Structures are given as C-alpha cells and as structure tokens.
Structure 1
C-alpha cells in the first residue's frame, strides 16, 4: 500500500479541488486561442479580398484610361477637321445672313439714314451761309440808314468796347459774334500757344484794336457805297484806311499787304500761307494769303494776323485766316 503525499496544507481534498480548477482554465484558454486563430484567419481573408477588389478596380481604371487615350490620339485629326468644318459653316452662315431680307432691309435703312445725314449737314451749312448773308445785309441796311444821318466815323468805338476778353482766343470769339464784316476762319488753337508769353497782354490789346479797325474799315466802305460816292484813296485797302485816320487804332506801319518773295514762292513758306476761306470766296476752300498785320514786334514768336480783303465783292468781308506765331520767311528757310 503506498502513501499519497498532499501538496496542500489542507490535505488531499484541497489538492483535488485545485487540480480541477487548473484543468478547467487550460481548456478555456485552448478554446479562446482556437477562436482567436479563426478570427485572425477571417480578418486575413477579408483584407485579402479587399486588396484583390482594390487591385481589380485600379486595373479597370487604368484600362479605361488607356482606352480614352487611344481614342483621343486616334481622333485628334478628326476633331481638328471637324473644328475647321464648323468654322466654315459659321462663315457661310454669316455670309448667308447678309442675304436675308431682314438684313437687306436694315442695310437699306442704314444707307438711307446716312444719306439723310449728309443732306441735313448740307442744309445746315446752307442755313449758316444764309444767316451770315442776312447779318451782312442787315449791316448794309444799317449803314445806308446812317448815311443820311451822320458822317463817316473815323473808328468803330462801340465794337472795340466789346472786344475785352482776357485771352486772345476770347477776343477772336467776341469778334465772331460782334463784327459782322469779319469772317474768321483761323484755327483758334494757334493763339493758345501765345497766352503764356510775357507780352500776351500787349498782343491781346493789339489784336482787339486790329479787329475793331478792320470792322470800321468795312463799315466805311459800305457807307461810301450806300451814299453813292467812290470809296476814294483812303478806302483803297486796310492799310490805306489806317493811314487816313488821325488817330488810327492800329498803325499803318503794322499792316503789310504783301510778303517776301521767299514767303510767296518757297514751298514750305507758301504752304503755310494757304489758309482756309469760305467756299464762295474760293471753291477749294483755301487760298494764298500774304496780307498780314504785325501783332507782335520782330522778336520771336513775333505773332502775325493773316487776312484776305474781300470787301470789294458784294456783301464781302475781311477773312482772317491765321493768328499765331510768325510763319516761315527768308530768315527761316
């Protein structure tokens, strides 16, 4: 008979109880490990399937991209050709539209409107000429009325009092409104360059005196005609008129009826003196002007006023074609 040695201080019964618990614990651990292996396999399988699906999708996308690239490369020429065809169709459509009845009607209306505009412009110019002629006729009648009431005035002080602007441009604009026997065709922009000069005030006064004297000269000529007497030597020219006055507004020495040979014949100098005039004076609208008044002295810019005396013509005026810097002459050619 053998002896059983107890490992527990509480005896063999306690040993049997401990051994049972250890057996149960080992079985449970084995079961859990088995479940973990199964779960791991499932997860691995899931990840593998996911990876396979992703790879399959990537392959599909790559294949689709290759097909698109192949299609575009193959159709590049076709697309360019279709684009050219489309442009041709658009151009043909635009050209065809011009032939549409509506478009033709609009073009006809446009042409008619342009023609009417030109007609109105011509009528406006004609009205302006008639207005100017009416103003001159009024002045002629006024001079004839005065012919039986008062002697010929030496100057025209009333007109001079109206030419008081603070710029040379302003004086010329006032003369356009107040001096019916003066026709100003000069480009007023030419006098703007003179305004900054230190002598501009003196030149402005001399310009106003010249314009008033020219108006008085024209009135005196009209008055002589209205009285039925010859104009006489004192009205032979503007220079002669200034010389005939006891106290002239402008010295006759400032008035020159001609210009140098060089100024009249040298191409550049002559071209500067081809100045604008009304169509009834010259159909070309321009003519050579050599008569001038020295608004300034001999020092540059030495401004000058160029004019054409047309007072001998019916309803004639003095045409002022230029006011500005000294034009080319022998010393500048």
Structure 2
C-alpha cells in the first residue's frame, strides 16, 4: 500500500510539472511544443520487455545475465518487479546524467537531492554495501561481468544493490557498480535476479 501511494504521488507530481511546463510554453507562444505527437511507452510488463528496451538508458550499461532476469517472469509478482526494475534503471540513468553535468555526490546523494527532473529511488530500498559477514562468506556470488577496460579479468565485485521486493524467497535485487567517473562513464548493472545468499537467506 505504501509503495502504491508513493507511486500515485510520483505520478501526480509528474503530471503537475508537465502542466506547468506546458503553460510556460503556451505563455511564450510556443503552442506546437506543448503537443506530444508520439506518446512515450509506459513501464514494461515483463523482464523480457524490459530487456528489449535497455537501449533507452544511455547512462546504464547492463552486463547482467539475461536468463536470470527472465526467470523472474515466472514469479507471481513479476509485473511489479519488472516495473520497479524499470524505475530503478531510470534512477541510475538519471544519476549518471547528473554526474555528467557535474553533480557532486554519489547515487545516495542524488536520491536525496531535489534537482528538477531528477529520478530518485527510495533510500530504504537501497543498500550501498553488504555486511562484512556476507562478503566474507558469499562474496564470490557478488562478482559480476564488466568490460575488460574496467577490469582486465572482465569481472568486478559489486555490493551496492537496489531492492525490487522484500517478501518471499525471491526478493529480487539489482547489483551495480558506479563507474560514472571511470572509463565507461556509466553505472554498470551486473546482476538482476533473485536475492543472493546472505545471513538472512542461508
């Protein structure tokens, strides 16, 4: 219920902002610019559709195993997870754009900023790092593919993760590496799939 209310609040804010911007364009005599001829698509209904639309994100490089993400489509809450994954990628993409424009801070700071047009992610659904216990025992599960320009081995540890679900055994996660100041200039998403092993799941 809380997530649904937050989503409705976000929609209302976006609608109000769009109305304000259209009004400003009309006041400036730019009537044609207030009309959107081709309506943008909504959130994907599945991870399969999400994968087909990854090119929409200029600031996100997805190296994750496609099959693990598509397995999530078998879950009861697949549509909810896919929609949340889409919004998570939008937030990461928004952060990358901010970093390119000189934003001083990481993803956490981005999500607490009130920059116009910024896409944020709920902080209580973001873990910037894993516990020492988790990394000591199951750290190998958190090493994912990256371009060889980033690491010659083609793999890199990723601890920062976004929570797509909190109930049930699946509880999907997105793991990423902030390379906005690195060679790719993007956020690298190395994993989209079921919850990995930790002290709570073991």
TM-score class, shorter-chain normalisation, is 0.7 to 0.9
Query: Is 1:332 matched with 2:201?
Result: yes
Counterpart in 1 of 2:12? Answer: none
1:279 to 145, 148, 164: 148
Query: Is 1:172 matched with 2:41?
Result: no
How many residues matched? 161
2:162 to 270, 273, 293: 293
1:252 to 104, 115, 123: 123
2:158, 2:41 → 1: CA distance? Answer: 27
1:244, 1:263 → 2: CA distance? Answer: 30
Contact kept, 8 Å, 2:150 with 2:183, in 1: the verdict is no
Counterpart in 2 of 1:211? Answer: 89
2:78, 2:53 → 1: CA distance? Answer: 17
1:202, 1:196 → 2: CA distance? Answer: 12
Aligned-pair distance for 1:281? 0.6
Greater fraction helix: 1
2:186, 2:142 → 1: CA distance? Answer: 19
Contact kept, 8 Å, 2:112 with 2:120, in 1: the verdict is no
Larger radius of gyration: 1
Contact kept, 8 Å, 2:88 with 2:121, in 1: the verdict is yes
2:147, 2:80 → 1: CA distance? Answer: 30
- 1:34-90 deviation digits (Å, cap 9, x = unpaired): xxxxxxxxxxxxxxxxxxxxxxxxxxxxxxxxxxxxxxxxxxxxxxxxxxxxxxxxx
Query: Is 1:182 matched with 2:60?
Result: yes
1:205, 1:189 → 2: CA distance? Answer: 18
Secondary structure of 2:75's aligned partner: coil
Secondary structure of 2:190's aligned partner: strand
Change (3 A) 1:172 1:270: same
Greater fraction strand: 2
TM-score (norm 2): 0.73
- Higher RCO (C-alpha under 8 Å, 6+ residues apart): 2
- 1:90-110 deviation digits (Å, cap 9, x = unpaired): xxxxxxxxxxxxxxxxxxxxx
Structure 1 vs Structure 2 CA RMSD: 1.9
